[in-house]
A and B are shown apart, each in its own frame.
Chain A
Amino acid sequence: MSKFIDIAALDDIPRRGARVVKTPQGCVALFRTADDRVFALEDRCPHKGGPLSEGIVHGTSVTCPLHGWVFDLNTGQAQGADEGEVRTFIVCLDGGRVLVDASFLSGRSAA
């Protein structure tokens, strides 16, 4: 069974925006969509390392701020003609609190 760590309140993340969590394996971006769903992805674009947390969030996608690659928040897959993927992590929402899988601490990827 997974163990979850309470990170923050949902409202600490702007709608259609993201906040960063520092972890032993690098930064992870917690995204919040317009309809209040939360996703956790590695905050490092496979293209040239752009911080995805600074991208524009639209639907369940984010556009990298540096050169515009688009990633699906569900799968971490690059969309369209670009190829690459970022790691995704398990995150859940419990009564307005955002919880992340304890694997954040150990370095195991959820996907």
Chain B
Amino acid sequence: MTGRQKLVVIGAGMASGRMLEQLFDAGADFDVTLFNAEPRGNYNRLMLSPVLSGEKSYEQIVTHDAGWYAAHGVDCRFGEAVVKIDRANKVALSGSGGVPYDALVIATGSAPFIIPVPGKDLPGVCTYRDLEDTNAMIAASLPGSKAVVIGGGLLGLEAAAGMAARGAEVTVIHLMGHLMERQLDPAAGYLLQKDLERRGIRIHCKGATKAILGKDRVEAVLLEDGTVYGADLVCMAVGIRPEVRLANDTHLHVGRGITVDDQMRTSDPAIFALGECVEHDRQLFGLVAPLYDQAKVLAATLLGQTAAFQPVQTATKLKVTGVDLFSAGDFADAPGREEIVFRDPGRGVYKRLILDGDRLIGAVLYGDTADGSWFFDMIKQGKDVSGIRDTLIFGPAFAGGPTANPLAAVAALPPEAEICGCNGVCKGRIVTAIEGGATTLDAVRSATKASASCGTCTGLVEQVMALTLGAGFTANTNPAMCKCTDHTHEDVRRLIKSMALKSIPAVMQELGWKTGGGCASCRPALNYYLIADWPTDYVDDRQSRFVNERNHGNIQKDGTYSVVPRMWGGVTTSAELRAIADAADRYAVPLIKVTGGQRIDLLGIRKEDLPAIWTDLNAAGMVSGHAYAKGLRTVKTCVGTDFCRFGTQDSTGLGIRLEKMLWGSWTPAKVKLGISGCPRNCAEATCKDIGVVCVDSGYEISVAGAAGMDVKETEFLCKAVTEAEVMEIIAAFTQLYRENARYLHRIYKWVAKVGLEWCRAQVEDPGTRRALHDRFMLSQSIYQTDPWAEHAGKPADWAPIADLTLRAAE
């Protein structure tokens, strides 16, 4: 044969991607054409779940980019399915013609199984296999929408948790008696169900789907027992079957999958296959670890080397943040088998080991999976455990002495113990890579592939790094919220919602806070998140507030406070001014000042006088201006149509109505509005958090301005025709900010992160806007109260508890 060998690969998935890497790493000289039915190249399919839950973006899970393909001269045919293989002439045919091959690799993966019920073809029914499915679920998971997942296995639960994390109301329908019955025993399945229910996911076991109902798109799911669950989206995750259509049409030998021998060769010597589409020794494959081994073997075969595929044991982990679950080996009851069980219901920990004679053959761990790799290693080695049987279930820390060091479990692992199940990377290889200079997680990843697939072993890899590098190691993570936790603000916000955590102690307990009582930086943030997410359940924790919000005034440098009554829209009356003047006289206020926010500030008031001055101002009909709050501050207005010759709408009236709607709401950081009657913009609306500029045809609403430490003009959000619309849009937008931003981020910082487009899509969709508006109003029904009135009656609490200067004088 002359020229380079022509290799055609059908399917750019996890298996073929790895095979090509192995091939090129070995310096192979092939002309490769890579077909993929999906309109994109190789990406890490396992990581679709973090994309769905919002923890990662698609860009972060791409494994091979255009540069890589170009560097290796791969002819990419993405979005082009192979429809026929002409074996006689050795040509693979697609919609754009034929590509001849010397060797052909079929790596078409699996197709999700669709249960043949009425309604399965309705718009709004999806499966969970690729980016399109993931994006469909993301689009449907708006807060308040309903999703039904059919199938309570690994994929179904990751889909359910991901959509729930985005705020959808999720129901899982599972045919069997307990979740993940292929990987879990009933007890662990029960714990998992409880955990998911605590995050607000409804679980219906022993549920058989009868039909999917709906007229133009899905509306509900009907079960055999008559139960009906409303649904805006239905995800079918009931299983997969090997994608063998091409192979069948070509008359290759196909069982349940494409039959291959130990060298990954099909019944045609020029055609090879690997991945989920194959059947080897009567076995099918559904996890990546064995596929990577196949990739290695096939690369060797193509290079003319000898290698043979041998399936390995696999272990399972569920990729749902906050749920720790591990299972490996065989855990079915059978004669001659014995089990060791450990339960700690208080901590939600369950461990079950299955022994056959003196060998460990299976393990199910729930709640505490730190020892998973140690047990897995024993299962694979088939070690005799009779000598350590009485302490076996307590793991390596016990076997190796009474140490409580979290690194001990990892330190106790032998070099051949597997750390990364997906890529079959053992501890020794990671240590060698680190000693060879890979001192960051990324470097270890690229040197060994450890933690580069499903990512659940990242913590273990980091522990091996910590052990090997000692003090030289710093974990490569996003900045944590504060030193009390490793979670980021975003993680904490998401977990509060998805795990339904409703108190500061619950957050600290469930998310593993490292300090007993938090610190001055996390406590106010948690207090805010809980208020915003659970307005009807959570009770404000005053001791977790900064001094200004606890005492409802700005503390001054000498420990006195300022008092700023609300002046709705900057409008006042002679009676109010008189009451302010009287109060200023009565409490000898050192400074009366007009603020930059169109109202009057009384500065320098002693703490013990606060309740009394508030009582006086309350009596004149005034309430707190929250000049100190992470909440609504002021709504600046101009005189508008009533007096101004240019005014187009009632900007003063609108400002007052907006302030009356928004006051008292707690927000991630302060919120200021400006309402101008015409584009001359005398209320400086275009540098506020939210601004409205009135025009002849209605109202231009813009957001994300700043005029403090940063100065920035607002960006146009949308236009409204009526005042009622303005009010609804602004309430909805404020609620969107309240539910999503991190604590202390002003609106302009948050919008820069989430994108104005996304915000606009939320408030422009009538259903979403209304739901946001309603949630804002629900919260206001509880939180729109005047803090002055609340404390006015209790002057004693504000004075010193005792005065010993008097006693001393006696």
Contacts and interface: CB of A to CB of B under 8 A. Distances in A.
- A in complex with B: yes
B520 to A, nearest CB: 4
A12 B523 contact: no
Nearest to A65: B547
B207 interface: no
Given A34-B517, A59-B516, A63-B519, A15 B801 contact: no
Nearest to B524: A56
A51 B559 contact: yes
A14 B798 CA distance: 12
Interface in B293-335: none
B292 to A, nearest CB: 47
B64 interface: no
A93 interface: no
A105 to B, nearest CB: 5
Interface in B551-568: 551, 555, 557-559
Chain B interface size range: 20 to 34
A17 interface: yes
B804 A104 contact: yes
Interface in A16-73: 16-17, 19-24, 27, 30, 33-34, 48-51, 54-59, 61, 63, 65-66, 68, 70
A8 B797 CA distance: 13
B555 A65 contact: yes
Interface string B768-807: 0000000000000000000000000000000011111101
The secondary structure that dominates the A interface is mixed
B242 interface: no
Interface string A62-91: 010110101000000000000000000000
B543 interface: yes
A21 B802 contact: yes
Given A57-B543, A59-B516, A24 B524 contact: no
A92 interface: no
A58 B523 contact: yes
Nearest to B804: A23
A99 to B, nearest CB: 11
Contacts of A58: 515, 517-520, 523
Nearest to B799: A20
Nearest to A17: B543
Contact of A34 (B516, B524, B542, B801): B516
Contacts of A49: 557-559
Interface in B377-417: none
B804 A5 contact: yes
B543 A56 contact: yes
B800 A55 contact: no
Contact of A105 (B547, B551, B807): B807
Contacts of A104: 804
- 10 nearest A-B residue pairs (beta carbon): A63-B520, A65-B547, A19-B801, A56-B520, A16-B543, A54-B547, A22-B803, A20-B800, A58-B517, A23-B804
Interface of B: 515-520, 523-524, 542-547, 550-551, 555, 557-559, 800-805, 807-808
